[in-house]
Structures are given as C-alpha cells and as structure tokens.
Structure 1
C-alpha cells in the first residue's frame, strides 16, 4: 500500500458517506451507494443454474462477490446465500475498487481473497473498512469502552470486521492513551 493511503482513505470514506447523508457514527449502506453510482448489484440466486454453478466453482470455494466490467461501467455479482453482514462487506470491498479506479478484468472474491493482488487489494480492503467503520466512529466507541459485539451491532457488520477495524485502526490504542493521559 502506498505511503499516505490510509490517511487519504479516512478522508475519502467520510466524503463517500457524506454523499449518502451518513456521518461516521451510523452504518454505511453499500446498496444505496451502488445505486447512486449506477452500479448494478446482481444476486447470484437470480442467475440461471448453469451460470450460478460456473461462478461457484471458479476456484473451488464459495464466491462472495465479483466485480465485472460491462461496457464502460461495472456490475457487482453478490452471493445472496451468505449472511447480510458478509454481503455488505463484500459489496464495500468491490465498491472500493470502483471508487479507487483500479484496473482489472474480473475481480472475483471468495471468503478469503479477492482476484486482484498487491497494492490494489490492500487499498480496497482498507477503504472498505473505513467505509464500514470510519476511524472517527471506531474512536468514539473505543473511548466508550464498547466491546466488539457492540461495535458490530452499531455498524451492522460481522464480529470479525468489528474486531479488525477496532484493532487495525488503532482506535483502542488511542483511546487507552487518552485515558492514561487524563488519569491522576
């Protein structure tokens, strides 16, 4: 990931949220965002059996989502058999590729990885995390001592994503330092 990207992603995620009228303390709606950007989201269950099976056997594991170029735009294929929190995370990841204007053929994402690699993948992961749980929101909950379960509920994400953002963003470390600074 290029130097300074995490700082840029914080700002960009807040701008993207603002476009939807959402601040840093409420869940992000990737479906509304995709619609406002003209990105169609196609549920895997709406495809015919042959097409659905083709995507599911792409690498032998369950497909979470795919970003597919169509003309000058893109569509996102989502596995609607997965839990809603997982689908929201996958959509944010694929949307991050679009917002960051990453070049690709077809980006297939399963439960463990996306089809793109390197800096593009790291950037999409980080931006999608900021879209789902912005640093400001994570810091507020860290200062309140919120456990990961409460964070997951507050932002409508999985427990794993809540844990990743609360630890990876540094919000808990900053909150602990703030408490230590002001304690006698």
Structure 2
C-alpha cells in the first residue's frame, strides 16, 4: 500500500522535531519510553499485569509472538503495553510503533472484527511503521552511522534497535547508497 506523497519526509521531520523538543541532536539515539513520558503516555510491561490477569502470562511464554505491544484507550488517555519477554530492540520498536499511532493521531479502533479476527487497517499500520522506524533512527542518524562506518552491532547497541530495524532504516533512508556513492 503506497503512502501518500510527502509522508516519509514528514515523519522524518517529526522525528527530528521530537528529538529537538527533548534537547537531542537530530542524529542522537532516542529512548522510546523517554518520548512517551514527554508525551504523557504511560508505558507498562505485560509482566506487571500478571497478578491482576494471570492469562497474560501466556503472552510472555507459550504465546509470546502473539502480541508485541498494544495501546489501551481510556477516553482521551492512552497507555502503551509492551511485551517484555521480547528483546530490548523489539520492545523499543514496538513501543515506538504505538507512540507513532499517538503522534499521527490515529483513532482507536476495535482489536477484533466481527468474526473475532484481529482488526487490521493496513494504511495506518504502515504509517505507524514508518514513523516508528524514523523515531528510532532518523535519516540523519542513518547517514551518521554510514559516515562513521559504525559496525552493525555497535549501531544496534547505540540506537537500541534490532538488526532488522537497523537494516531497514539504513536501506530506506538511502544512507548505504549515499555512502557507496561518496566512496566512489
């Protein structure tokens, strides 16, 4: 599903703006929970709810791939819940995705459709994916990684992302191609 013209540039500008509001450089790492706190969106771990709802334990063990994160709406307030059985890179990605929904002002929707299947709006999910990636690694950050020739492992550690996210952002930002052109 194609994103509307200019959307990708807009989300990078928004990601840079969020960093500036937090007093960070456009290429600096961003901790999603810090941004959520700034936006007054509580972030909670699934494991913290086991005492109240023991069935959540399955999401941390036998069904850990079923849900990475979700947003719970209570009127105008949001709460983000993250599956803390996942590695930190994935948790950061998941939290950033949920924060992206808030920043993009996506309206809340039902979790399940009338058949009991997961409700999925491909357009808003793709928008949230793009913004989440940019929140974690702005174009400026990707270009900085490429210029400095930081190893993937060092970049993953510095930005708190998975290899998959790092690769995706390095490719989508054009940082790798830009670096290759400047090296020739």
Taking structure 1 as the reference length, the TM-score comes to 0.84
Assess if the C-alpha contact under 8 Å between 2:59 and 2:65 holds in 1.
no
- Which residue pairs with 2:16 in the alignment? 14
Q: Compute the displacement of 1:138 (Å).
A: 0.7
- In 2, Cα distance between equivalents of 1:161 and 1:69: 27
Alignment deviations for residues 114-134 of structure 1 (CA, whole Å, 9 cap, x no partner):
954322111111111111011
Rounded Cα–Cα distance in structure 2 between residues aligned with 1:133 and 1:43: 23
Judged with a 3 Å threshold, the aligned counterparts in structure 2 of structure 1 residues 106 and 149 are, in CA distance, closer, same or farther, namely farther
User: Compared with structure 1, are the counterparts of its residues 160 and 115 closer, same or farther at alpha carbon in structure 2 (3 Å cutoff)?
Assistant: farther
1:126 to 125, 130, 148: 130
Give the counterpart of 1:158 among 162, 179, 182. 162
| 1:11-64: CA deviation from partner (whole Å, max 9, x where unpaired) | 00000111111223322111111112111112111112445158679x994311
- The gaps in structure 1 that reach 5 residues or longer are 109-113
Q: CA RMSD, aligned part only?
A: 2.4
Match of 2:47 among 28, 41, 45: 45
**Structure 1 residues 66-122: Cα deviation after superposition (integer angstroms, max 9, x where no partner):** 0111111211111112212211110001000000001222569xxxxx954322111
TM-score (norm 2): 0.84
Q: Provide the C-alpha distance between the structure 1 equivalents of 2:89 and 2:167, rounded to a whole number of angstroms.
A: 14
Would you say how many aligned residue pairs link Structure 1 and Structure 2?
Answer: 174
- Cα pair 1:56 1:63 within 8 Å, conserved: no
8 Å CA contact retained: 2:47, 2:56: yes
Equivalent residue, structure 2, for 1:93: 97
Q: How far did 1:159 drift?
A: 1.5
Partner of 1:3, secondary structure, is coil
Aligned counterpart, 1:168: 172
Supply the distance in 2 between the matched residues of 1:55 and 1:69 (Cα, whole angstroms): 20
The answer for unaligned runs of 5 or more in structure 2 is 113-117
